Amino acid sequence: MRMLLLSVLALLAAGCAPQARVMVLRPAEVDIAGIGRLAVIDFVGEGEAGSQARAAIAARLADKRHYVLVDQAELSRVEPAAFNGQEPDEARVIQAAKQAGIDGLLSGQVVAYDAGSGSTLTNPPTVTLAVKLIDVRTGEVRDARQITRTLKSREVPDRQAALNDLLHGCAEEAAARLSPHQEAITVELARQYWGNGLSAVRRGNALAKGGQWDEAVAAWQSALENNPRNHVAMHNLAIAALARGDHAAASDQLKKAIAIYADATYQHSRKLVAEQQRLAQAAMFQAAHAGGAR
């Protein structure tokens, strides 16, 4: 009988742990110190692809609300000749940006803007952008990266709509790379198999999986009221604290849970919270030290 019980418990432990999604702060991946006023100019590309790339990236950067974005038209007024050719004259654009008091310039090239043909498995729609961030004051290239998005589907889509989606995917990656931003991550919740508070913990887990964090917190707190040593509820309350950006409360709850039961999941979550706190602090530092007033 004892062996049977151990086998059942082993099977339960081996099952997939419940998971939830939380939004966390992430810093820009590149050095953006001192860049507050930023201009995005038309990318080099065929037809309207270059201006579409500029518009898509500028829109995503505006969503991040880190930079003061300067419209290309302002640079054109300062130095009209910079935009007279088929593509912007980068050297003249940089000079115009200096005169306009701009800190950074984002330029690039539409390397691929291909709708594909035939099967999407062998020739899928693809967009590739080469993106470059220039420090206008020094001429230094702060970052240069190529970003590619390819449609992954067995069905033949509306190819132009697919290209538009891929372009915006590239733009989002570029903007996130250059700005402090929020990002969704998957976190693991702890499970309870028996004892006081079982139903409350399970209810909280289900609510958290659906993004209903306030209701989940109420359920886990109810479990703790039934059993003040319910380490599962403590762990999950720590994850809820992480979800609202309260790293100190998350660390405190995990410390209590581990003091009762040093589960591997709890140890992993403690490392996760510490890492998320480090990244959030880096993102907040970048936001506080932006080069221009927002």
| pLDDT tens profile 7-33 | 444 444 445 789 999 999 999 999 999
User: Are 154 and 68 contacting, i.e. CB atoms less than 8 angstroms apart?
Assistant: no
| pLDDT tens profile 129-177 | 999 999 999 999 999 999 999 987 767 668 888 899 999 999 999 999 9
Going by pLDDT thresholds of 50, 70 and 90, the confidence category of residue 124 is confident
Q: Report the C-alpha gap between 101 and 191 in whole angstroms.
A: 56
Q: Report the C-alpha gap between 107 and 141 in whole angstroms.
A: 11
Tokens at residue 39, please? 């201009």
Q: Cβ contacts of residue 246 below 8 Å, gap of 6+? A: none
For the chain, list the domains and their CATH numbers. 37-181 (3.40.50.10610), 189-286 (1.25.40.10)
What's the predicted TM-score (pTM) here?
0.84
Q: Report the C-alpha gap between 47 and 154 in whole angstroms.
A: 29
Q: Report the C-alpha gap between 108 and 271 in whole angstroms.
A: 38
Amino acid (1-letter code) at residue 138: T
Lowest-pLDDT range, 41-50, 121-130, 132-141, 210-219? 121-130
| pLDDT tens profile 232-258 | 999 999 999 999 999 999 999 999 999
Element (H, E) at 98: helix 90-99
Is pLDDT at 202 greater than 80 in this prediction?
yes
Q: Report the C-alpha gap between 218 and 227 in whole angstroms.
A: 14
Tokens at residue 3, please? 């062996």
Q: Report the C-alpha gap between 250 and 244 in whole angstroms.
A: 10
Tokens at residue 217, please? 């917190």
User: Are 108 and 129 contacting, i.e. CB atoms less than 8 angstroms apart?
Assistant: yes
Among the listed residues 144, 149, 153, the one whose alpha carbon sits nearest the alpha carbon of residue 170: 149
User: Are 42 and 88 contacting, i.e. CB atoms less than 8 angstroms apart?
Assistant: yes
118-127 mean pLDDT: 76
User: Are 204 and 211 contacting, i.e. CB atoms less than 8 angstroms apart?
Assistant: no
Q: Is 23 exposed, middle or buried (0-12, 13-18, 19+ CB in 10 A)?
A: middle
| pLDDT tens profile 104-114 | 999 999 999 98
Strands 181-188 and 19-26: antiparallel
Q: Report the C-alpha gap between 189 and 211 in whole angstroms.
A: 13
pLDDT at 86: 80
User: Are 253 and 235 contacting, i.e. CB atoms less than 8 angstroms apart?
Assistant: yes
User: What residues are paired with 147 via a beta bridge?
Assistant: 129
pLDDT at 25: 96
Q: What angle do CA 180, 182, 187 make, to 5 degrees?
A: 135
